[in-house]
Structure 1
Amino acid sequence: MTKPRRIVRTTVVGPDGHSTLVEFDLAESPLAWLHSRRGKDGADLFGDDAFAAGERLRRDFTLGALEARTTMNWSSFASGSERRRGAGGTDFSDGVMAARARVSAAVQAVGPELGGILVDVCCFLKGLPEVERERGWPARSGKLLLAAALGALARHYGYGTPSGAARRALRHWGAPDYRPKP
């Protein structure tokens, strides 16, 4: 029995201020399912910025062809263009390499403690009960860790701040009227 498709359309505003219409299937993504739920207090488990950051990580993960392959990739035999070679003789375009670099930078930015749950839930589409069971965590502790990881990821991408102002906020340790002497 297949799950019914529930396509949701939403507008996501990026750190550059441009908005994009994004479609996703709630039945496919555990992150989308969690985003559609409320906590006991009636508040969102995590905000729209955190959800957008998780979906951006998932998009880059997919574009970077980082999911495990179970079949033969015949596209390398048909391409005649110059591409980078990966493990097993697979060709990679510049777009794929850029997506892989973005995923790597994002996971490094949130740290190894939180990067694992992001990759499991956002990229490999594992549910929180499965992640908690695999890692030996107490039940329902994954929600807290996922919310913290998504918050760190949203800050990395610059979501929730006008034009990434949080990244530029600290420039020096001087007083507000401090000016260097020539």
Structure 2
Amino acid sequence: MSQDITRKDKIRSDPRLLAERALPQDGEERDGGEPKRRRARSVTVNLSESPLGWLHARGHLSDRQYDAGEKLRADWERAHLAPRITMRWDAAPVAGAKRRTPAVLNETEAQLAAKQRFTNAIDHLGSDLSDIAWRIICGGEGTPVAEKNLGWPARSGKLVLKIALDRLADFYRLPG
């Protein structure tokens, strides 16, 4: 009984023990009731890394280009331009409460200002460059996926993206 308790405590303290056990696949041979282990390949992926961050980390983008893309993505997110999957659950204003003039922009004003900056930046890029910039920076598509969706030849998206990011850096007046 005490052996079962310590085993359960060990499994709870180290969840890898459960994750490392492979389930037998159909047609897999068993030796003595245990499935034969095949060598598995694994890949470590940083799910929070953006396609822009991936390009920058591997030296394909300069710091200025990366910063310009991050500014555009920040404006995209502050403007709440991505589709929503739920409603807002903010508290409704209380009737009769005194309203003070805020020292900074409230949430709605900040959202409107970010939307205006985003729209101006996309207009500055023009129709030729805004497609690839939006897909990779804001939409989170990888370069090969964006090239395919736009019907472009392979390995052309990175070059066009770099041109778009240089133009965005000029728009945001980033030092170069």
Q: Normalising by structure 2, report the TM-score.
A: 0.64
CA distance in 1, matches of 2:89, 2:48: 30
Note the residue ranges of structure 1 that are not aligned, 5 or more in a row.
Answer: 6-25, 38-43, 83-91, 162-182
Identity fraction in percent = 39
CA distance in 2, matches of 1:4, 1:126: 15
> 1:36 matched to which residue of 2?
57
Paired residue secondary structure (1:93): helix
Tell me if 1:80 matches 2:96.
Answer: no
> 1:160 matched to which residue of 2?
175
- State the Cα distance separating 1:112 from its structure 2 match: 1.3
Judged with a 3 Å threshold, the aligned counterparts in structure 2 of structure 1 residues 60 and 130 are, in CA distance, closer, same or farther, namely same
CA distance in 2, matches of 1:120, 1:30: 10
- State the Cα distance separating 1:47 from its structure 2 match: 1.1
CA distance in 2, matches of 1:27, 1:135: 25
Contact kept, 8 Å, 1:46 with 1:147, in 2: the verdict is: yes
Aligned residue identity for 1:155: D
Judged with a 3 Å threshold, the aligned counterparts in structure 2 of structure 1 residues 2 and 94 are, in CA distance, closer, same or farther, namely farther
- State the Cα distance separating 1:27 from its structure 2 match: 4.2
Total equivalences in the alignment: 124
Q: In the TM superposition, what whole-angstrom CA distance separates every residue of 1:65-108 from its partner, at most 9, and x where no partner exists?
A: 01111223333xx23289xxxxxxxxx71000000001001111
> 1:119 matched to which residue of 2?
134
> 2:123 matched to which residue of 1?
108
Aligned-CA RMSD value: 2.3
Query: Which 4+ stretches in 1 moved above 3 angstroms?
Result: 1-5
Q: Normalising by structure 1, report the TM-score.
A: 0.62
- Which residue, 48, 60, 74 being the options, matches 2:75? 60
Which structure dedicates a bigger proportion of its chain to strand?
A: 1
Contact kept, 8 Å, 1:27 with 1:33, in 2: the verdict is: no
> 1:18 matched to which residue of 2?
none
